[in-house]
Structure 1
């Protein structure tokens, strides 16, 4: 009886932690696209993407060393590369390119497609089986997003909408692959190692794409 009670308490604590982490993630994520929109007005989207990844990777290296995290196993390298391609490179780059054509408010609407994309890749890559009610609301939300894009945005900027759709697919794949890896590697460790794997390429591209001068860049960017 006591063992069952302990298991239930641990489950409740885990669920609460998941909700809190999710809420924090949503708050941070909600500011990402408006900030990117400001930045691409004055920065090259490629430089912006690789510079952000380089800075994040340096912080990731510090955290991994500080907590003495174990290195990923060899069989985890390919999934980590997929995470890096989807979340470290794909989503930031594609959204930065898209935000040259659409507003941040318009782009955020497309984020409503992310749960469906993540779930679809979770089924394909991770063998997950979401409940029917999840699929119902995900599809419903996605239809609303598509309807909004068709009525408001496609005629104005098809390039921006296509880039945002590709960004959501890249992010969904990265999230699904990262979720599968987190079961054995840990949550923050997955994105940290993905950043570390991408660091050599990101650092080289940062050096190559760096502007000759930052004197003309305004403070908001």
Structure 2
């Protein structure tokens, strides 16, 4: 991709990540909230929704490179595809966007939250949690899932902007390819931890949930909150490192 300005990063990473979280958290809200028309639609419904949320957010944010994920940004920086000086800008913009997206999801479902008979179960709409809590193995799961995502991004043909025209890589699939990868990660590896695979996707909505005026809402589980941050960061770093080691093979 041609050089990305700091202004493009701020604008499009905020907007793209906000759309990602709005639609991703929205599909979970539709499944979890009792008064929703899509209540109990199931895990496949949620995973498809998250995959398409990635497609929508990334397609909107193509001018910034559509990282939308600190683990992706870190992997690209290690692979020498993103300047290290821009890494803090990307991550700050992603966190802001994810917070905004979570709040927009709450606004869209406000009356459904008010009417839900089990508000203590609403935290999972916005952030992840393990089915079996074991900090070490939960982190391993997040490392593996994030590694697959970031290494695929690094190894697939580049998505580039030339002369004002977006040239989609990966045999013309473009960002739809990323959606398919997120979908298969969710179906294959999402069961143990809810597959955050993105620190901003989990931490910023968790903070937003803390501020939402939901009566009787559940615990924020801050003791677990570091896992979906540390795991994806390690996974993204390992993907960037392996890319460097194998790029000329």
Higher helix share: 1
TM-score by length of 2: 0.33
Larger Rg: 1
